[in-house]
Structure 1
Amino acid sequence: MPEFQYDPEGLSVNTPPDRIAELLDATREAFAGGSLIRLKLGGYHGAEPELKAVEVKKIATKAGEKYSFTYKYKTRDTIKNYAEDEALALLGDGLATEFRSAQLATTDFDMMYERNGAKQRLKRAQAEGREAPSTEHNRAKNRPLSETGKPWLKALGLSGKNGAIRHDAQDKFRQINKMVEIFAPLVASLKAEPPLIVDMGAGKGYLDFALYDYLATVVKRPVRIVGVEMRPQLVEDGNATAKDSGFDGLSFEAGAIMDYDASGADAVIALHACDTATDDAIYKGISAGAALIAVAPCCHKQIRRQMEAGRPDQTLEPLLRHGIFVERQAEMVTDTLRALLLELNGYKTRVFEFVSDAHTPKNNLIVAEKDGRMGRDRDAVLSQIGAIKATFGIGEHYLESLIDR
Structure 2
Amino acid sequence: MTNQFIEKIEKSLEKNTFIKITLSNFISSQEKSTLKKVLIRKTIIKREEKLTFVYRHKTNDITKNYSIKEGVNKVITLLTKESNNQNHEGFFNQAILFTTAFDLHLKNISKNPAIHSQKPTQKQTLSTSHDKQKKRAIQTKDQKGNSKNYLQALKITDNTGRVYANAQDKYKQINQYIEILSVLLKQLPTEKELQIIDMGAGKGYLTFALYDYLKNILKLKVSAVGVEFRKDLVELCTTIAEKSDFGSLSFVEGTIENYKIKEEDIEQKTQILIALHACDTATDDAIFKGIEADAELIVVAPCCHKQIRREIENAFKSDKKTENELSPLTNYGIFLERQAEMLTDTMRCLLLNYCGYQTKAVEFISDAHTPKNVLLIATKKESFLEENRKTEKLKEFEALKSFFGIKTHFLESLLLK
**Superposition TM-score, scaled by structure 1 size:** 0.69
Larger radius of gyration between Structure 1 and Structure 2 = 2
Go from structure 1 to structure 2 and tell me whether the alpha carbon gap of 1:351 and 1:216 turns closer, same or farther (over 3 Å shift).
Answer: same
Q: What amino acid is the match of 2:239? A: A
Question: Do 2:241 and 2:249's aligned partners in 1 also have CA atoms closer than 8 Å?
Answer: yes
Instruction: Specify which of 34, 38, 61 is matched with residue 29 of structure 1.
Output: 38
Unaligned runs of 5+ in 1: 1-7, 14-20, 36-64, 68-82, 89-105, 110-124
Query: Within the alignment, does 1:361 sit opposite 2:371 as a pair?
Result: yes
Q: What amino acid is the match of 1:309? A: N
Q: Classify the secondary structure of the residue corresponding to 1:267.
A: strand
Deviation at 1:304, TM superposition (A): 0.4
Q: Distance in 2 between the 1:132 and 1:359 partners?
A: 40
Q: What amino acid is the match of 1:310? A: A
Identity of aligned residues (%): 43
Q: What amino acid is the match of 1:374? A: L
Q: What amino acid is the match of 1:147? A: T
Go from structure 1 to structure 2 and tell me whether the alpha carbon gap of 1:358 and 1:259 turns closer, same or farther (over 3 Å shift).
Answer: closer
Question: Do 1:107 and 1:129's aligned partners in 2 also have CA atoms closer than 8 Å?
Answer: no
Match of 1:209 in 2: 208
Q: Classify the secondary structure of the residue corresponding to 2:411.
A: helix
Go from structure 1 to structure 2 and tell me whether the alpha carbon gap of 1:134 and 1:340 turns closer, same or farther (over 3 Å shift).
Answer: farther
Go from structure 1 to structure 2 and tell me whether the alpha carbon gap of 1:391 and 1:66 turns closer, same or farther (over 3 Å shift).
Answer: farther
> Matched residue pairs, number?
312
Q: What amino acid is the match of 1:275? A: D
Instruction: Specify which of 282, 298, 306 is matched with residue 301 of structure 1.
Output: 306
Instruction: Specify which of 122, 136, 142 is matched with residue 130 of structure 2.
Output: 136
Q: Distance in 1 between the 2:350 and 2:119 partners?
A: 53
Q: What amino acid is the match of 2:390? A: R
Match of 1:258 in 2: 257
Go from structure 1 to structure 2 and tell me whether the alpha carbon gap of 1:153 and 1:305 turns closer, same or farther (over 3 Å shift).
Answer: same
Q: Distance in 1 between the 2:137 and 2:29 partners?
A: 38
Instruction: Specify which of 123, 136, 140 is matched with residue 147 of structure 1.
Output: 140
Question: Deviation per CA, 1:330-354, whole angstroms, max 9, x where unpaired?
Answer: 1000000000000000011111112
Question: Deviation per CA, 1:361-401, whole angstroms, max 9, x where unpaired?
Answer: 21111111111132671221111111111122211100000
Deviation at 1:358, TM superposition (A): 8.3
Deviation at 1:107, TM superposition (A): 6.9
Question: Do 1:352 and 1:366's aligned partners in 2 also have CA atoms closer than 8 Å?
Answer: yes
Instruction: Specify which of 256, 276, 281 is matched with residue 276 of structure 1.
Output: 281
Question: Do 2:227 and 2:256's aligned partners in 1 also have CA atoms closer than 8 Å?
Answer: yes
Match of 1:288 in 2: 293
Question: Deviation per CA, 1:260-301, whole angstroms, max 9, x where unpaired?
Answer: 112416111100000000000000000111111110101100
Match of 1:240 in 2: 239
Please show how residues 3-402 of structure 1 align to structure 2 within 5 Å.
26=36, 28-30=37-39, 33-34=40-41, 86-87=59-60, 108=98, 128-129=121-122, 131-134=125-128, 136-138=130-132, 140-148=133-141, 149-192=147-190, 193-262=192-261, 263=263, 264=266, 266-311=271-316, 312-355=322-365, 360-372=370-382, 373-374=384-385, 377-402=389-414
Question: Deviation per CA, 1:48-72, whole angstroms, max 9, x where unpaired?
Answer: xxxxxxxxxxxxxxxxx999xxxxx
Go from structure 1 to structure 2 and tell me whether the alpha carbon gap of 1:126 and 1:241 turns closer, same or farther (over 3 Å shift).
Answer: same
Match of 1:121 in 2: none
Question: Do 2:140 and 2:151's aligned partners in 1 also have CA atoms closer than 8 Å?
Answer: no
Deviation at 1:310, TM superposition (A): 0.6
Question: Do 2:195 and 2:272's aligned partners in 1 also have CA atoms closer than 8 Å?
Answer: yes
Go from structure 1 to structure 2 and tell me whether the alpha carbon gap of 1:340 and 1:11 turns closer, same or farther (over 3 Å shift).
Answer: farther
**Superposition TM-score, scaled by structure 2 size:** 0.67
Question: Do 1:275 and 1:297's aligned partners in 2 also have CA atoms closer than 8 Å?
Answer: yes
Question: Do 2:169 and 2:367's aligned partners in 1 also have CA atoms closer than 8 Å?
Answer: no
Q: What amino acid is the match of 2:401? A: K
Question: Do 1:172 and 1:359's aligned partners in 2 also have CA atoms closer than 8 Å?
Answer: no
Q: CA RMSD in A?
A: 3.3
Unaligned runs of 5+ in 2: 1-26, 43-51, 62-95, 104-117, 142-146, 317-321
Q: Distance in 1 between the 2:238 and 2:295 partners?
A: 24
Go from structure 1 to structure 2 and tell me whether the alpha carbon gap of 1:357 and 1:237 turns closer, same or farther (over 3 Å shift).
Answer: closer
